[in-house]
Amino acid sequence: MLKQQIEPRSPSPEKEGPLSKPGCSATYNFLKAPAAPLTAPHPTPKKITPLHRFPLSLHTREFKKRFYPDASIAEWNDWKWQVRHRIKDLKELSRIITLSGDERSAIEKHTGPLPVGITPYYASLLDLVDPTHGLRRTHIPVNGEYVRMPGEADDPLGEDHDTATPGLVHRYPDRVLFLTTGFCSTYCRYCTRSRMVGEAGGEYTFSTSQWEKAAQYIEAHPEIRDCLLSGGDPLTIGDDKLEWLLARLRSIKHLEFLRIGTKVPVVLPQRITPQLVRMLKRYHPLWMSIHFTHPDEITPEVAEACARLADAGIPLGSQSVLLKGVNDNVDTMKRLMHKLLTIRVRPYYIYQCDPVSGTSHFRTPVETGLEIIRALRGHTTGYACPTFVVDAPGGGGKIPLMPDYVVGRDGADLLLTNFEGGTYRYPDPEGTVGEAQNFLRANGMKHEAETGLYHQPDV
């Protein structure tokens, strides 16, 4: 594949951030003015009107008026203002949200990484009174975080073990995970990398010199064709530094495409500025995986952010973590998947919640994920059916799980069931698929239609 050689520019941290007024789009409506009479040598030019100003939903507007009355619309839609005014301590959180005793005591005792951090925009989506509200539970600590259950670990996926050079994880043969930063604009309480995010001066550090060493490692390994930028959140990095990194990676000839893993379009949609999008567009092929949790996150602001990215030719996929009491039911997940498609985001993965230390209150049985997939497949468009995976502890990688649609065998026929529960025959005279299911039934195991699993019958 032919690639344009792009020389990386030196990063300029002091120049990070938006380059134009918030709320202004790069798309303009150039309408032709009526032909002027020959006697009018200087016709008045038609006024240029921006087409896509950044939206502000009625709900968000009311929240801003109540809790940030001194902030202008321009300030609210400035991503840097949002980052500067993140809710980070008990005093500010209490000003906005009526905290439960459990939440208050958990915040008071917190030290180390994974601090409280919520953008004002995302706080507007949280229930201000109900501590059981799904999105609120994902971002406000409770004392369950301090309970470590068997099987949990600070680094359950073994990323540190597979680190080739600081910040670069090389687990799969042809791809790498590039950890760019330890900063997120908003911290999820079930974060897989809770050990390393949000703690300046902690054990994990990130710098452009570290980026360069990681790039040199990729250059020295021609089998690497795919690089996923993650963190922390790469889109919290300023435009100049982020472009330096993208250009540096794009200069590696055998690196075929880049991916960005982010939650910024969901928690800080104002970050998706026309300037950022124009810059990202220069580094195709570039893909983006966006972390969505609940259909309530899909607001006019988020729809606009995703539209800007999609219009720039960036394929968008979603990654959702299955969370107890948040999105662990068919109705919520189906609404999320349907809404994602309306904003041009393709549902990609549903993850079983990783066994990170202090996350047992978020984890569901694996059967829950299988039941959700069974209720989606065939009952709605295939585009709305993501892959359910367990990221295997200890560095085993993503393992996809599917309900079992194989009923068994009858002679030369394979017996299959469909989404409605009907049984169908497929001629498969030389096959062996289905023999295991026959064995299980012959030994008294019971088949559960909702998950496709077999289990001991009730005594």
Residue in the structure block whose two tokens are 């939206």: 55
β-partners of residue 414 are 409, 426
- Active-site entry in 24, 191, 306, 353: 191
The answer to whether residue 188 is catalytic is yes
- Active-site entry in 239, 240, 328, 354: 354
> Which are the contacts of 69, defined by CB distance < 8 A and separation ≥ 6?
none
Contact by Cβ (8 Å): 331, 412: no
The answer to whether residue 24 is catalytic is no
- Active-site entry in 80, 88, 171, 282: 171
- Return the structure tokens found at 423: 């049984």
- Active-site entry in 24, 188, 227, 353: 188
3 state SS for 269-295 = HHHCCHHHHHHHHCCCCEEEEEECCCH
> Which are the contacts of 133, defined by CB distance < 8 A and separation ≥ 6?
126, 127
The answer to whether residue 227 is catalytic is no
In what helix (H) or strand (E) does residue 167 lie, and over which residues does it extend?
none
CA distance 376 to 257: 31
- Active-site entry in 86, 137, 175, 259: 175
- Active-site entry in 64, 189, 193, 308: 193
- Active-site entry in 68, 80, 104, 172: 172
Crossing angle for the helix pair 300-311 and 274-281, nearest 10 degrees? 30
The answer to whether residue 184 is catalytic is yes
Give me the amino acid identity at 110: H
CA distance 106 to 139: 12
β-partners of residue 408 are 415
- How many CB atoms are located within 10 Å of the residue 157 CB? 24
* Strand-strand pairing, 413-417 and 446-448: unpaired
- Active-site entry in 398, 410, 424, 446: 398
The answer to whether residue 377 is catalytic is no
- Active-site entry in 184, 227, 306, 353: 184
Question: What own/partner pairs with CB < 8 Å and gap ≥ 24 does 194-198 have?
Answer: 194/113, 194/114, 194/154, 194/356, 194/357, 194/358, 195/113, 195/154, 195/155, 196/113, 196/232, 197/113, 197/114, 197/231, 197/232, 198/113, 198/114, 198/115, 198/117
Q: Of the candidates 284, 220, 222, which has an alpha carbon nearest to the alpha carbon of residue 258?
A: 284
The answer to whether residue 53 is catalytic is no
Catalytic residue numbers read: 171-172, 175, 184, 188, 191, 193, 354, 391, 398
